[in-house]
Chain A
Amino acid sequence: MLKRFFLVLLAMLLLATQAFAQSEPGPMQTVLQAHAEVIAESSRRTIGPAIDAVAGSGLPQAQAVLEAWQAKDMWQRQSDGWFFRAEQIDASTYRLIDFDSGDAIGEADKGDLTQLKPNAGVRGLLGTALVQFQLLDPDPARRADALTSLERSANADLLAPLRASIDPEADAALKARKERLERLLTISYDPDEAARIAAIEEMAGDLGVDVRAALNPLVATTLRVYAGEVPGGINVARVLRPGSEALPRDTAYAMLAEAGLAPPRVTEGDVRAALAAHIDAGNVGGVPVAELSDPARRVGAYTALAAGGLVPAYRTEAEISAALDAHRFAQIYAEPSPAVTGAAEAALTRISTKVGLNQALDLGLDALSLGSIYFLAAIGLAITFGVMGVINMAHGEFIMMGAYTGYVVQQLIPNHTASIAVAIPLAFAVTFAAGVAMERLVIRWLYNRPLETLLATFGISIALQQLFKNIFGTQARPLTSPDWLGGAWVLNDVVSISYIRIAIFVLAMLFLALFLFIMKRTRLGLETRAVTQNPGMAGAMGINPGRVNMLTFGLGSGIAGIAGVAIGLFAKVTSELGQDYIVQSFMTVVVGGVGNIWGTLLGAGLIGGLQKGIEWLNPSNTLAAQTYMIIFIIVFIQFRPRGIIALKGRAAGD
């Protein structure tokens, strides 16, 4: 009983509140009602005061109103003209929510409501108005979103809200972003010239792409033609003389013709069309049609037609010169203020100098990383070819096998870090085994017959390539690097290097150390050097040359396998992977000086640096860079036939 009583009481209370709300508009509703007509009309031209009133009302619910409005969720009740946010319940019923209280105040039939459908222009204005709220949003993520959208599409109106939001900003990173954006928007939109120039000068040393994006529109020009002198009051970048490199005569005259300032030139096509149109009994202008394949006869025929007034006459050189002389061609800044454009030009010059320096640094890093890739690919070869003197054309296929080992491991172990950790020793094991097998079965029968070794290992190379093609197919297989190697180390907008390349550089250095350690500090290294220098004597001293050769060759092949895993991380893993590296690897070893690991290092650095350098001179063309690099190497070998670091005298074997 008591329960029922309370329920009734509650219902009455609710009804009362509702009735009260309906009778007494809240503060926001009041603001909205004051502009009800323009809001309902929803036109970009007239809506301004309404938005301003809502945004400037100082009410906490203003943001919700604007957002609902922008999202087309604001509806007007036809009975009393009040505005509500409405949520659809079913096809024809909507729940109305009051802006001021945020409470649902009941349901209404769709027929009793009118949806406000702001067009794109109005929504843009709403967005602008919203930014100031979003920039001050308590949620830092939303503030960051707002900044991102601002950075992407800014306009003059957003400058003021942005400035207003800087001081209250608590998050230091966001504050820095806001301040930077404020400077950029000042450059682009501040009505005060002095403020713009100050901002330009402040940002002049900045390498950011956004700064250049803000400055570039300021110095953008269009080419215009003026009859007589260039009128004053225009921000002229430069006046161009027809016939100069920037403005060839033909282009200049075509501009005149297009602007209607001079009659167009008669083109070859015009002549042909005109002649074809005036064929008269096998003759044109008194010239037989058959003779018109002669250019001189054509001119004659056309001149005859022109003399008869049938076609426009040729423009003579004198006429063209006169027309060009009578006009001025100038590049005009879109930005009217010369002070601003001047400051922008100066700032861009400073930036581009700095960008150039940083690009050189970036290029250096690129070259270093390419060099370390070549070094990595070549270091196994430095052992098999450099130390042992065995030409192994299948070296590239060992690299490829290492990469495929990495791929297979990744199929079995989904964790990328773990799979790489497993793949590296496994790749070494696989290619070590392959190398040992190849040495035992083929190469050891061919020592001292290098050309035959070359051909036999080439046979193995094509067989291995086709075998892997048969197993894995022709399409590229991915070898994904662990996430912690995914990003890049970004110094600024110009200089950056991906972690994977740093890792490869480190790996290359590790291998160098490993190589030096094995060759200089271990028994195997000592025996290897002994066997390569004098197998007979080494054998006499109790070293088993066969075993040493086998192990050394296996070691070189195994390192190729590890290199394969590393290369597979950034290149496509295909059966032709090795081919891309084999010639460069041999070049690296030969250019560096056979039999010397430091030479190989220098060779890799030289080839990497050279290739990047040539690419930089002609960035569109990697193929040409490789061509020129190879030509350079051929010429280089003229001057240092034994490589950068050459063994001299009797040790050189001549």
Chain B
Amino acid sequence: MNRTFLARNPSVLIFLAVLALFTIAVTVMSEGFGMGIISTSFVKTLGKTLTLALIAVAMDLVWGYAGILSLGHFAFFGLGGYMIGMWLMYERTRQIVVDSLASSPIPPTDQEVVDAIGTQIFGVVGSSEFPPVWAFADSLTIQLILVVAVPGLLALIFGWLAFRSRVTGVYLSILTQAMTLALSLYLFQNDSGLRGNNGLSGLQNIPHLDHVPQSVLSVWFFWASALALALGYVFAAWIVSGKFGSVIRGIRDNEARVRFLGYSVEGYKLFLFTVTAMIAGIAGALYYPQAGIVNPAEIAPIASIYLAVWVAIGGRGRLYGAVIGAVFVSLVSTYFTGGQAPDINLGFYTISWVDWWTILLGLSFVGVTLFAPKGIGGLFDLWTGRRTPDRHGADLGPDMGSLREKEAEE
């Protein structure tokens, strides 16, 4: 029991090694640093995929380990993107404005510069004033803090309200979905202060790095994403490996029992919900500069449900399962919906993957839920010989919502 953390979790080492190899391979093959086998846009896709894997790890913590099926983590992801996007857009616009005003005979005052930035950014929603939420947009440090603080705070408030009133199981899922819907509808408004459905755009242009070509930038972001994923993975593995992990898995399997052991279940859930929201915020802050644009559609409840789909397909309750699910499903989706996949001609009908991929994904998801609850990660069990305890027919465990424990007992 007292062996070192890594010794107890060989899968972490394997994962880190695979991630490192992958990073080196992509770097070598990239346009910016190597042979140019992989296009810049594909490097970006891979970088984005790594950040998706990071939020999937967060989702796995909160769902696979603690049993909270949150349908709101993509809202935190989007918020993280918005927070970094505000600085990127402000600073980038400031550069442009300062450059254009430099040619005028009288040097501009600070206020004139700010006004011009406001006109540039908010002209699209018919305004030129900076809303209060942009108060710190000029400071990278503060916006970076907000990347974790805003999702964390929202998760803290929402989680406190929800867990305090002992909303569990599917009710909690629906409630988180409602929260996500509320947030995205709010952001869709033009007077939300975040440019309504236009969202924040041009995020791929990093201020003060104009001289760096996108091919190089994309690799930098890829590295950052890989680093964040590595740190997030190790952090998550550390959380679940100790007694904390025991407690949250206990909460997942039998919330009431944990409570009668003297653990404040609400506190644990709130802690985990908030921490994973922060991780999601970081993942979003890395994703959107690679995507270039963040808008309220990204926050819609459907995105968070897809997140659950990734984790379920990859395999809940094991961190590498979440990563595999996110990487596999998002890359395959990109392949099929991007139009690269060849259409299948049946003679009487041509199956176009762009149209039929979602149907296939939906149905395969039903199939995974029914026939392979352990997901792709379950395949590793065949290899390692890990097996689940024989429960003598009592179907408790991660598959159960805590709501139904009582019924299962009876």
Write the residues of chain A forming the contact surface with B, with a CB cutoff of 8 angstroms. 268, 272, 275-276, 279, 284, 289-290, 292-295, 298, 391, 442, 445-446, 448-452, 454-456, 458-467, 469-470, 579, 583, 586-587, 590, 621, 623-624, 626-627, 630-631, 633-635, 637-638, 641, 653-654
Pair B175/A445 contact, Cβ less than 8 Å: no
Residues of A within 8 A of B301 (CB): 583
Residues of A within 8 A of B355 (CB): 466, 469-470
Q: Any chain A CB within 8 A of the CB of B404?
A: yes
* Minimum Cβ distance to chain A for residue B363 (Å): 5
Given known contacts A454-B173, A623-B189, A289 and B105 CB-to-CB distance under 8 angstroms: yes
Residues of B within 8 A of A292 (CB): 106-107
Pair A293/B108 contact, Cβ less than 8 Å: yes
- Which one of B67, B175, B186, B309 contacts A627 once the chains associate, using CB atoms below 8 Å? B186
Residues of B within 8 A of A454 (CB): 69, 170, 173
Q: List 20 A-B contacts (CB under 8 A).
A: A276-B106, A289-B105, A292-B106, A442-B366, A446-B369, A451-B169, A454-B69, A454-B170, A455-B305, A456-B365, A456-B370, A458-B309, A462-B361, A470-B355, A470-B359, A590-B171, A621-B191, A634-B175, A634-B182, A637-B162
Given known contacts A451-B173, A455-B365, A583 and B178 CB-to-CB distance under 8 angstroms: yes
Q: Any chain A CB within 8 A of the CB of B109?
A: yes
| Interface secondary structure of B, over-half rule | helix
- How far apart are the CA atoms of A631 and B369 in the complex, in Å? 32
Closest 5 CB pairs of A and B: A463-B362, A459-B365, A630-B182, A466-B358, A293-B107
- How far apart are the CA atoms of A635 and B162 in the complex, in Å? 9
Residues of A within 8 A of B174 (CB): 583, 586-587, 590
- How far apart are the CA atoms of A180 and B22 in the complex, in Å? 84
Q: Which of B50-58, B139-147, B198-206, B394-402 contacts A (4 or more CB under 8 A)?
A: B394-402
Residues of A within 8 A of B182 (CB): 626-627, 630-631, 634
Residues of A within 8 A of B67 (CB): 451
- Which one of A272, A445, A459, A641 contacts B167 once the chains associate, using CB atoms below 8 Å? A641
- Which one of A289, A458, A461, A623 contacts B185 once the chains associate, using CB atoms below 8 Å? A623
Residues of A within 8 A of B183 (CB): 627
Q: Any chain A CB within 8 A of the CB of B356?
A: yes
- How far apart are the CA atoms of A459 and B306 in the complex, in Å? 9
Residues of A within 8 A of B158 (CB): 634
Residues of A within 8 A of B173 (CB): 451, 454
- Which one of B104, B170, B181 contacts A583 once the chains associate, using CB atoms below 8 Å? B181
- How far apart are the CA atoms of A626 and B180 in the complex, in Å? 12
Most buried by A among B109, B355, B362: B362
- How far apart are the CA atoms of A463 and B364 in the complex, in Å? 10
Pair B400/A461 contact, Cβ less than 8 Å: no
* Minimum Cβ distance to chain A for residue B210 (Å): 23
Given known contacts A462-B362, A463-B363, A630-B178, A448 and B404 CB-to-CB distance under 8 angstroms: yes
Pair B175/A637 contact, Cβ less than 8 Å: yes
| Interface secondary structure of A, over-half rule | helix
- Which one of B104, B108, B186, B406 contacts A653 once the chains associate, using CB atoms below 8 Å? B406
- How far apart are the CA atoms of A467 and B362 in the complex, in Å? 11
Pair A461/B369 contact, Cβ less than 8 Å: no
Residues of B within 8 A of A467 (CB): 359
Pair B106/A451 contact, Cβ less than 8 Å: no
Instruction: Considering the complex, give the chain A residue whose CB is closest to the CB of B296.
Output: A623
Pair A451/B370 contact, Cβ less than 8 Å: no
Pair A463/B358 contact, Cβ less than 8 Å: yes
Pair B175/A450 contact, Cβ less than 8 Å: no
- How far apart are the CA atoms of A294 and B365 in the complex, in Å? 62
Pair B366/A460 contact, Cβ less than 8 Å: yes
Write the residues of chain B forming the contact surface with A, with a CB cutoff of 8 angstroms. 67, 69, 104-112, 158, 161-162, 164-167, 169-171, 173-175, 177-179, 181-183, 185-186, 188-189, 191, 301-302, 305, 308-309, 312, 355-356, 358-359, 361-366, 369-370, 373, 395, 399-401, 403-404, 406-408
- How far apart are the CA atoms of A555 and B231 in the complex, in Å? 51
Instruction: Considering the complex, give the chain A residue whose CB is closest to the CB of B367.
Output: A459
- How far apart are the CA atoms of A455 and B70 in the complex, in Å? 12
Pair A446/B370 contact, Cβ less than 8 Å: yes
Residues of A within 8 A of B366 (CB): 442, 456, 459-460, 463
Pair A626/B111 contact, Cβ less than 8 Å: no
Pair A272/B106 contact, Cβ less than 8 Å: yes
- Which one of A275, A459, A653 contacts B362 once the chains associate, using CB atoms below 8 Å? A459
- How far apart are the CA atoms of A467 and B357 in the complex, in Å? 10
Residues of B within 8 A of A279 (CB): 105
Most buried by B among A272, A627, A635: A627
Residues of A within 8 A of B308 (CB): 455, 458
Pair B179/A634 contact, Cβ less than 8 Å: yes
Given known contacts A458-B305, A466-B355, A295 and B111 CB-to-CB distance under 8 angstroms: yes
Most buried by A among B182, B308, B312: B182
- How far apart are the CA atoms of A459 and B368 in the complex, in Å? 10
Given known contacts A293-B109, A627-B182, A452 and B189 CB-to-CB distance under 8 angstroms: no
Residues of B within 8 A of A461 (CB): 362
Residues of A within 8 A of B177 (CB): 583
Residues of B within 8 A of A449 (CB): 395, 399-401, 404
Given known contacts A293-B107, A293-B109, A583-B301, A455 and B186 CB-to-CB distance under 8 angstroms: no
- How far apart are the CA atoms of A470 and B360 in the complex, in Å? 13
Residues of B within 8 A of A290 (CB): 107
- How far apart are the CA atoms of A451 and B308 in the complex, in Å? 11
- Contacts A451-B173, A459-B366 aside, 17 further interface pairs with beta carbons under 8 A come to A275-B105, A289-B105, A289-B106, A293-B109, A448-B395, A450-B170, A454-B69, A455-B369, A459-B369, A461-B362, A463-B361, A463-B362, A470-B356, A623-B185, A634-B182, A637-B162, A638-B161
- How far apart are the CA atoms of A289 and B107 in the complex, in Å? 7
Instruction: Considering the complex, give the chain B residue whose CB is closest to the CB of A535.
Output: B407
- Which one of B178, B369, B403, B406 contacts A450 once the chains associate, using CB atoms below 8 Å? B403
Instruction: Considering the complex, give the chain B residue whose CB is closest to the CB of A635.
Output: B161
- How far apart are the CA atoms of A154 and B388 in the complex, in Å? 87
Residues of B within 8 A of A452 (CB): 369, 373, 399
Pair B188/A623 contact, Cβ less than 8 Å: yes
Most buried by B among A275, A276, A458, A586: A458
- How far apart are the CA atoms of A449 and B402 in the complex, in Å? 10
Residues of B within 8 A of A464 (CB): 362
* Minimum Cβ distance to chain A for residue B243 (Å): 25
Pair A294/B165 contact, Cβ less than 8 Å: no
- How far apart are the CA atoms of A617 and B81 in the complex, in Å? 32
Pair B109/A298 contact, Cβ less than 8 Å: yes
Most buried by B among A448, A451, A579: A451
- How far apart are the CA atoms of A459 and B370 in the complex, in Å? 11
- How far apart are the CA atoms of A294 and B373 in the complex, in Å? 66
- Which one of A272, A298, A462 contacts B358 once the chains associate, using CB atoms below 8 Å? A462
- How far apart are the CA atoms of A583 and B301 in the complex, in Å? 10
- How far apart are the CA atoms of A635 and B166 in the complex, in Å? 13
Most buried by A among B178, B308, B358, B395: B178
Residues of B within 8 A of A463 (CB): 358-359, 361-363, 366
* Minimum Cβ distance to chain A for residue B128 (Å): 14
* Minimum Cβ distance to chain B for residue A309 (Å): 21
- How far apart are the CA atoms of A209 and B189 in the complex, in Å? 32
Pair A455/B309 contact, Cβ less than 8 Å: yes
Pair A460/B362 contact, Cβ less than 8 Å: yes
Instruction: Considering the complex, give the chain B residue whose CB is closest to the CB of A467.
Output: B359
Residues of B within 8 A of A293 (CB): 107-110
- Which one of B112, B170, B305 contacts A451 once the chains associate, using CB atoms below 8 Å? B170
Pair B165/A641 contact, Cβ less than 8 Å: yes
Residues of B within 8 A of A445 (CB): 370
- How far apart are the CA atoms of A451 and B64 in the complex, in Å? 12
* Minimum Cβ distance to chain B for residue A10 (Å): 79
